[in-house]
């Protein structure tokens, strides 16, 4: 409002009283000072802003000055001085209202002068700008917090526009990129920072974020100095007014992490000494090459290289020289092959070379080049070393189609080369081919081998490395061919596996081994017999039945048999677990052979029902030569013991290997150091000799036993610590030392939830880690337990957790030496108890003030409980009715119908409700209405009914009188309707309260009670809206803006019901004179009704147009519609279209529209929808 205009208004109108009344009616905050008659006036709105009345300002014109905030007085005084110079002035300052509240004020003031220039009056207009000021203050604070968080974050924070250019960035971004903010913001596209090979991927993620989908990814950027930085990036869309206007990003430097990952990945697949790819890489690379070669119809050669005399060189000149020799061999191999060929270190002095797209001739030439290179003398540390290599070659697909087969055959060919005099090469099966022995021939002869008794077993002992005793035997298959001699298993086992002959051969071996073990037992030598299972055998569905049959036939008890499977068989986790469990049910033992050279996940081991791990001999062979193998062996032993598995080391050949394995608590060992595989009769002769080797060559017996005792004690302590640490509660111990209770143990999940760790408790007393008030409470309990009192308990709360502690003294020699305490979390119990106490208090208050009848009935209607109000209604104590049938208390004429209705309710598991006449003890009739709610048992059938009823005799008489008089007013109808609606939920609440008093509670009872309270509250709100109608305040209103607000207010409700709301208005809809808030309430009620009529979703469309001097608004939906009968009754007092509604919402709508001189009209058709048309005048007369 313009102050100059106000001055003119007062100046040119003689009757200032009229002007003042007009100003007050406009709710304008204005003050006026007349210098001619020295008067000062303020409007009622201004006085209200200051918290005073107009009379306060009339009595003391200086009232405004006392209200000015002291710190702003100087500003206000300059404002007054400016006015006195004749100029208009505007100022913002704070005031302290009469109620003590501080408000911000904006004041504009102007002077009025007469024709001679004399000041005759001053006028000011005041506006309360507190909300705006506080919003600005909060915005400034929020901006400061954001800027602080943005700038001081340890991560790079930035924002991009929708094109990808930087809009802002923090200092960390400068450090990450090497560019200044000025070079990045508005000048640099994020794509320009990404390394070329990752730009497309980064732009893809940017595009997804721009579509509203947050992304997290890794990428690399090039710094200004040319270096590369690896980042973990999160990008999210920034949304303003419902629209995506940019991207916000967080970048974290993970360069060091990436480098460590690369290093770890490299070490996992490369040999530590030579840097060549290792066994793991060999299997991976060779598998891929075989797939490609198969597709391209190409050949591949696998060359298995073993250095001749390496062990002699290593033992003579030392391991360091041996390591340097291996590095030199690697160099000579690299210059002997083409760039496309691959070199791997298999382990020890063995190397593998893979030649791709080759043939037999080219493989032979490559082998000759390698032998020639390695034949030259190598100079290391002043020594001239001569070495050579034996090379075995297998060809794909001729000699095998899998990695395992090709390596096995190349290994076999290498041994052929060694048998041929070393320093040469051999192709797989070359000797056999020369003599006419091929796979087909071997297969043919194998068929005859079992029948002609050519197969036999050798046995190799397994020795307990602690006691030296033989604890097991491994049965090893051999074939004695009459022409070919003793055949190596390497020669015939692959053929048997491929042809399926391994099934009968394996069954023969298993039976023979069990028979031999039984024979040994009969001689007094009991041991466990280990038999290897082939992959084909293991996949037989009847394996368990076969094993059980052989055990039965040979008479061997199952625990004397151990079946060995190789690690490569454990790839299919589901099948392996099922098969192993079937075998374990028989009682046999299971071991995994050659552990460490395959690819089975360590995580699977805890799922396998196995007893033993056998460490592959390749690791044992390299002990003291290869630090990695040392570490692997120790890790396998430790891991197996943690899984409660037995550990056997294969391939023990030296005293040093034996001692190493003893020092690291390997359970058993086998190898040539103890005995080579021998026939049963020969092995029997050396049993005593074998059992003396551990005592003779290993760690002294006393030392060994002491080591094992300490190890067992360590593992027992570790198990106990793990058990204590992993428990959900907390366990602690304490002793009294020098008059102080010192804790000697404390661990468990609860300790960490308290915000403590064991080191903060152990060795300390209570006052060292607890607040004094908590410690003081516990000292008395500690003392009681220390004095020998059993089962001392206390409850306390720490870090928001309630807990219960139980203390028990531990006695030795009759004296208490320590106290052990167990603590458990009781927070949930405490909260439940507190909630129950609050609920009981509330329900007790309600129960004490109700007079309704509450009964608990069984399925036949027998009264199990009756509230005192039943006795008050029928004239006898309520205890008299317990055990009687509800229907015995009814008037005879009404019993059959009531019984029939009750039985139907039991059958349908539904409510039983109705009215019945009951007999009073004085013979009069009492009319009672009631509702019985079924309570289900665990079997889903009705167990009880909770009946809540009340005496409606007088109510019915009153209703009959009212009906006869036919003078029921709208107010009376409204009150009766509301009271009736409120009584329904209250009746249900009372019933549940009576049950609570009897100790009958269920969680679902509380949910019902609270929902009924909510229903009462909603009814009362609607009633108050009608009972106390607000004054209509007409203003020019944009009806489209009103309806937009309505849509926002009910947006969440419409989304939950899957209802789409749309608005469609003609252009140039004029402003109308109405009370916007009340019209808003009308449309909220109408649209909510439409949403409720769309239980399965649908649409609500709001249309608007101008017709003459009215605006017409239509609300359409495609809901259930309204029947013709209900449609005709809409608008009647408290008539509702909803089954449980009061009709207050519709009554409110009709009343408001009538007050606005408008009309409301409903059109509807069942199952098609409803249209509500509202006509409002544009102007009011």
CATH code for the domain of 644: 3.20.20.450
How many other C-beta atoms are found inside a 10 Å radius of the C-beta of residue 1136?
20
d(CA 592, CA 609): 11
Answer whether residue 886 is part of any domain. Answer: yes
The mean per-residue pLDDT over the stretch 1151-1169 comes to 89
Closest by Cα among 731, 686, 940, 752 to 821: 731
**What does residue 116 show for φ and ψ, rounded to 5 degrees?**
-90, 0
DSSP single-letter state for residue 192:
G
Residue 845 in this model has a pLDDT that exceeds 50:
no
DSSP single-letter state for residue 302:
E
Residues 6 or more apart in contact with residue 647 via CB below 8 angstroms? 612, 613, 614, 615, 636, 637, 640, 641, 666, 667, 668
Residue 849 in this model has a pLDDT that exceeds 50:
no
> Which of 680, 714, 748 corresponds to the end of one domain?
714
How deeply is 15 buried, as exposed, middle or buried, from its count of CB atoms within 10 A (0-12, 13-18, 19+)? Answer: exposed
d(CA 633, CA 798): 46
Residues 454 and 603 placed together within one structural domain of the fold: yes
Q: In which element (H, E) is residue 1024 found? A: helix 1003-1027
**Which residues lie across from 89 on neighbouring strands?**
109
d(CA 990, CA 913): 16
DSSP assignment of 313-375 equals: HHHHH-HHHHHHHHHHHHHHHHHHS-TTSEEEEEETTEEEEEEES--HHHHHHHHHHHHHHHH
> Which of 236, 260, 284 corresponds to the end of one domain?
260
Answer whether residue 661 is part of any domain. Answer: yes
**Predicted pLDDT of residue 28:** 83
Going by pLDDT thresholds of 50, 70 and 90, the confidence category of residue 574 is low
**Predicted pLDDT of residue 430:** 43
Q: In what order do the strands lie in the sheet with 792-798?
A: 740-747, 730-737, 815-825, 801-812, 792-798
**Predicted pLDDT of residue 1142:** 41
Answer whether residue 141 is part of any domain. Answer: no
d(CA 93, CA 84): 19
CATH of the domain at 1115: 3.30.565.10
d(CA 483, CA 488): 14
Residues 850 and 973 placed together within one structural domain of the fold: yes
**Predicted pLDDT of residue 367:** 92
Answer whether residue 387 is part of any domain. Answer: yes
d(CA 862, CA 889): 11
- Identify which has the larger pLDDT, 191 or 26: 191
Closest by Cα among 75, 51, 82 to 64: 51
- Span of 94-103, 905-914, 950-959, 1043-1052 with lowest mean pLDDT: 950-959
Residues 67 and 120 placed together within one structural domain of the fold: yes
Q: Which residue has the tokens 């969680």?
A: 1003
Closest by Cα among 415, 394, 413, 416 to 403: 394
- Identify which has the larger pLDDT, 624 or 866: 866
Answer whether residue 147 is part of any domain. Answer: no
Residues 6 or more apart in contact with residue 256 via CB below 8 angstroms? none
d(CA 977, CA 970): 10
Answer whether residue 667 is part of any domain. Answer: yes
CATH of the domain at 408: 3.30.70.270
d(CA 501, CA 23): 113
Residue 841 in this model has a pLDDT that exceeds 60:
no
Closest by Cα among 576, 562, 630 to 605: 576
Query: What radius of gyration, in Å, describes the C-alpha atoms of the chain?
Result: 48
**Predicted pLDDT of residue 1025:** 54
**Which residues lie across from 395 on neighbouring strands?**
301
The mean per-residue pLDDT over the stretch 1146-1158 comes to 86
Residues 410 and 455 placed together within one structural domain of the fold: no
Residues 876 and 1018 placed together within one structural domain of the fold: yes
**Predicted pLDDT of residue 949:** 86
pLDDT in tens, 590-649: 998 877 655 445 656 777 888 999 988 888 887 766 677 778 888 889 888 888 899 999
**Predicted pLDDT of residue 488:** 74
Residues 1128 and 1112 placed together within one structural domain of the fold: yes
> Which of 714, 747, 774 corresponds to the end of one domain?
714
- Range picked from 90-99, 967-976, 1002-1011 for highest mean pLDDT: 90-99
Residue 985 in this model has a pLDDT that exceeds 70:
no
d(CA 910, CA 934): 6
Residue 495 in this model has a pLDDT that exceeds 50:
yes
Q: How far is CA 854 from the centre of its chain?
A: 46
**Predicted pLDDT of residue 266:** 81
- Span of 12-21, 155-164, 739-748 with lowest mean pLDDT: 12-21
Residue 247 in this model has a pLDDT that exceeds 80:
yes
Residues 537 and 565 placed together within one structural domain of the fold: yes
- Identify which has the larger pLDDT, 200 or 539: 200
CATH of the domain at 771: 3.30.450.20
Q: In which element (H, E) is residue 216 found? A: strand 215-222
Residues 309 and 454 placed together within one structural domain of the fold: no
Residue 246 in this model has a pLDDT that exceeds 70:
yes
Residues 405 and 456 placed together within one structural domain of the fold: no
Going by pLDDT thresholds of 50, 70 and 90, the confidence category of residue 587 is very high
- Span of 44-53, 156-165, 478-487, 1056-1065 with lowest mean pLDDT: 478-487
Quote the mean pLDDT of the chain: 84
- Identify which has the larger pLDDT, 1046 or 268: 1046
Residue 967 in this model has a pLDDT that exceeds 60:
no
Residue 786 is part of which domain span? 727-825
Looking at the structure of the chain, the number of domains it has is: 7
Answer whether residue 839 is part of any domain. Answer: no
Closest by Cα among 462, 467, 461 to 662: 467
**Predicted pLDDT of residue 365:** 92
Answer whether residue 419 is part of any domain. Answer: yes
User: What would the two tokens of residue 683 be?
Assistant: 């092995």
Residues 616 and 491 placed together within one structural domain of the fold: yes
Q: Are 728 and 750 in contact (CB under 8 A)?
A: yes
**Predicted pLDDT of residue 1130:** 72
User: What would the two tokens of residue 813 be?
Assistant: 């020699």
pLDDT > 70 in the chain, percent: 85
Residues 1097 and 986 placed together within one structural domain of the fold: no
d(CA 830, CA 846): 24
The model carries a pTM of: 0.37
**Predicted pLDDT of residue 470:** 95
**Which residues lie across from 246 on neighbouring strands?**
238
Residues 278 and 398 placed together within one structural domain of the fold: yes
pLDDT in tens, 987-1045: 667 676 766 677 666 666 666 667 667 666 666 665 555 545 567 788 889 999 999 98
d(CA 1060, CA 1050): 11
């Amino acid at each position: 409002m313009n102050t100059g205009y106000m001055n003119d208004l007062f100046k040119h109108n003689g009757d200032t009283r009229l002007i003042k009344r007009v100003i007050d009616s406009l709710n304008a905050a204005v003050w006026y000072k007349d210098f001619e008659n020295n008067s000062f006036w303020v409007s009622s709105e201004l006085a209200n802003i200051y918290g005073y009345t107009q009379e306060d300002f009339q009595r003391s014109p200086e009232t405004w000055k006392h209200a000015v905030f002291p710190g702003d007085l100087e500003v206000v005084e300059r404002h007054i001085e400016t006015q006195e110079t004749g100029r208009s002035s505007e100022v913002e300052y704070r005031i302290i209202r009469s109620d003590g509240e501080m408000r911000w004020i904006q004041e504009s003031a102007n002077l009025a002068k007469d024709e001679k220039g004399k000041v005759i009056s001053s006028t000011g207009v005041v506006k309360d700008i507190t909300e705006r000021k506080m919003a600005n203050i909060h915005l400034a604070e929020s901006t400061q917090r954001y800027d602080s968080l943005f700038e001081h974050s340890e991560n790079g924070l930035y924002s991009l526009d929708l094109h990808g250019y930087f809009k802002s960035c923090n200092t960390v971004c400068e450090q990450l990129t090497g560019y200044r903010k000025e070079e990045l913001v508005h000048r640099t596209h994020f794509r320009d920072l990404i390394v070329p090979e990752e730009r497309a991927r980064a732009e893809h993620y940017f595009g997804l974020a721009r579509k509203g989908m947050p992304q997290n990814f890794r990428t690399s950027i090039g710094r200004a100095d040319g270096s590369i930085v690896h980042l973990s990036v999160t990008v999210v869309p920034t949304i303003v007014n419902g629209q995506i206007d940019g991207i916000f990003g967080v970048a974290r430097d993970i360069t060091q992490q990436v480098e460590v990952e690369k290093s770890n990945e490299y070490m996992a697949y490369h040999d530590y000494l030579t840097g060549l790819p290792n066994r793991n890489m060999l299997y991976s690379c060779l598998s891929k090459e075989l797939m490609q070669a198969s597709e391209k119809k190409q050949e591949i050669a696998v060359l298995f290289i073993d250095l001749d005399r390496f062990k002699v060189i290593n033992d003579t000149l030392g391991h360091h020289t041996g390591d340097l020799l291996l590095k030199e061999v690697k160099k000579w191999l690299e210059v002997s092959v083409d760039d496309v060929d691959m070199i791997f270190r298999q382990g020890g002095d063995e190397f593998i070379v893979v030649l791709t797209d080759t043939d037999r001739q080219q493989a032979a030439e490559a082998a000759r080049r390698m032998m020639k290179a390695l034949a030259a003398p190598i100079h290391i540390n002043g020594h001239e070393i001569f070495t050579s290599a034996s090379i075995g070659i297998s060809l794909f697909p001729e000699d095998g189609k899998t990695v395992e087969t090709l390596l096995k055959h190349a290994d076999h060919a290498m041994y052929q080369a060694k048998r041929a005099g070393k320093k040469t090469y051999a192709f797989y099966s070359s000797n056999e081919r020369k003599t006419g022995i091929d796979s087909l021939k071997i297969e043919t002869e194998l068929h005859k081998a079992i029948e002609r008794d050519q197969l036999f077993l050798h046995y190799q002992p397994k020795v307990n490395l602690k006691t030296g005793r033989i604890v097991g035997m491994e049965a090893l298959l051999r074939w004695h061919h009459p022409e070919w001699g003793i055949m190596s298993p390497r020669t015939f086992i692959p053929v048997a596996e491929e042809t399926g002959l391994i099934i009968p051969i394996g069954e023969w071996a298993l039976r023979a081994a069990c028979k031999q073990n039984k024979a040994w037992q009969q001689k007094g030598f009991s041991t466990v017999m280990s038999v290897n299972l082939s992959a084909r055998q293991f996949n037989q569905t009847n394996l368990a039945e076969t094993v059980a049959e052989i055990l039965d036939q040979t008479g061997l008890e199952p625990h004397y048999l151990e079946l060995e499977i190789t690690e490569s068989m454990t790839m299919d986790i589901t099948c392996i677990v099922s098969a192993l469990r079937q075998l374990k049910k028989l009682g046999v033992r299971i071991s995994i052979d050659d552990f460490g050279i395959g690819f089975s996940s360590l995580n699977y081991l805890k799922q396998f029902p196995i007893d033993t791990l056998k460490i592959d001999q390749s690791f044992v062979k390299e002990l003291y030569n290869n630090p990695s193998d040392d570490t692997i062996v120790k890790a396998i032993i430790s891991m197996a013991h943690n899984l409660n598995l037995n550990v056997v080391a294969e391939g023990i050949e030296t005293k040093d290997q034996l001692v190493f394995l003893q020092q690291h608590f390997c359970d058993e060992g086998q190898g040539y150091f103890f005995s080579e595989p021998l026939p049963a009769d020969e092995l029997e002769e050396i049993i005593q000799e074998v059992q003396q080797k551990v005592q003779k060559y290993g760690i002294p017996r006393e030392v060994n036993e002491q080591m094992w005792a300490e190890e067992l004690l360590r593992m027992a302590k570790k198990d106990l610590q793990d058990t204590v640490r992993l428990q959900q509660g907390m366990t602690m111990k304490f002793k009294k030392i020098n008059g102080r209770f010192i804790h000697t143990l404390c661990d468990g999940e609860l300790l960490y939830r308290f915000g403590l760790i064991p080191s903060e408790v152990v060795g300390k007393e209570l006052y060292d880690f607890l607040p004094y008030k908590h410690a003081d409470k516990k000292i008395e309990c500690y003392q009681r337990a220390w004095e020998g009192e059993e089962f001392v308990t206390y409850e306390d709360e720490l870090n928001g957790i309630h807990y219960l502690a139980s203390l028990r003294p531990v006695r030795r020699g009759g004296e208490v030496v320590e106290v052990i305490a167990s603590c458990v979390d009781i927070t949930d119990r405490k909260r439940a108890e507190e909630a129950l106490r609050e609920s009981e208090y509330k329900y007790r208050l309600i129960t004490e003030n109700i007079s309704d009848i509450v009964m608990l009935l069984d399925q036949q209607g027998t009264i199990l409980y009756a509230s005192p109000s039943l006795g008050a209604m029928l004239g006898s104590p309520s205890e008299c009715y317990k055990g009687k049938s509800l229907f015995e208390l009814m008037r005879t004429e009404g019993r059959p119908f009531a019984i029939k209705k009750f039985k139907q309710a039991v059958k349908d598991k539904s409510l039983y409700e109705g009215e019945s006449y009951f007999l009073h003890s004085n013979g009069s009739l009492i009319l009672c209405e009631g509702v019985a709610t079924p309570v289900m048992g665990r079997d889903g059938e009705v167990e009880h009914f909770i009946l809540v009823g009340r005496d409606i005799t007088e109510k019915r008489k009153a209703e009959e009188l009212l009906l006869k008089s036919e003078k029921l007013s709208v107010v009376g109808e409204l009150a009766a309707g509301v009271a009736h609606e409120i009584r329904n939920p209250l009746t249900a609440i009372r019933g549940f309260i009576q049950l609570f008093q009897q100790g009958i509670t269920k969680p679902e009872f509380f949910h019902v009670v609270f929902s009924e309270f909510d229903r009462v509250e909603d009814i009362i709100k609607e009633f108050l809206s009608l009972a106390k109608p607000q004054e209509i305040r007409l203003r020019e209103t944009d009806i489209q803006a009103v309806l937009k607000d309505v849509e926002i207010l009910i947006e969440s409700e419409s989304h939950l019901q899957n209802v789409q709301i749309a608005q469609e208005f003609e252009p140039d809809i004029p402003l109308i004179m109405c009370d916007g808030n009340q019209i808003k309430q009308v449309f909220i009620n109408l649209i909510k009704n439409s949403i409720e009529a769309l239980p399965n979703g649908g649409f609500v469309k709001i249309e608007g147009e101008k017709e003459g001097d009215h605006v017409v608004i239509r609300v359409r939906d495609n809901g259930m519609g309204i029947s013709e009968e209900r449609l005709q009754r809409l608008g009647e007092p408290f008539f509702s279209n909803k089954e449980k509604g009061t009709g207050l919402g519709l009554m409110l709508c009709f009343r408001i529209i009538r007050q606005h001189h408008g009309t409301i009209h409903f059109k509807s058709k069942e199952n098609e929808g409803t249209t509500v048309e509202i006509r409002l005048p544009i102007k009011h007369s």
